[in-house]
Amino acid sequence: MKCPSCSADNKDTALHCKKCGGSLIVMWSPSIQWHARTLGVIIAGLVVFYFLANWMLKPYLREIPPEVTPWLKKSQNIHQ
Q: Does 1 bind Zn ion (CB under 5 A)?
A: no
Q: Segment 5-34, which members bind Zn ion (CB under 5 A)?
A: 5-6, 8, 17, 19-20, 22
Shortest distance (Å) from residue 16 CB to Zn ion: 8
| Residue 4 and residue 22 in contact, taking contact as beta carbons nearer than 8 Å | yes
Task: Report the chain's terminal Cα–Cα distance, integer Å.
Answer: 76
The distance of closest approach from Cβ of residue 28 to Zn ion in the complex, given in angstroms and rounded to an integer, is 19
CA distance 65 to 43: 32
User: Contact positions toward Zn ion, by CB under 5 A?
Assistant: 3, 5-6, 8, 17, 19-20, 22
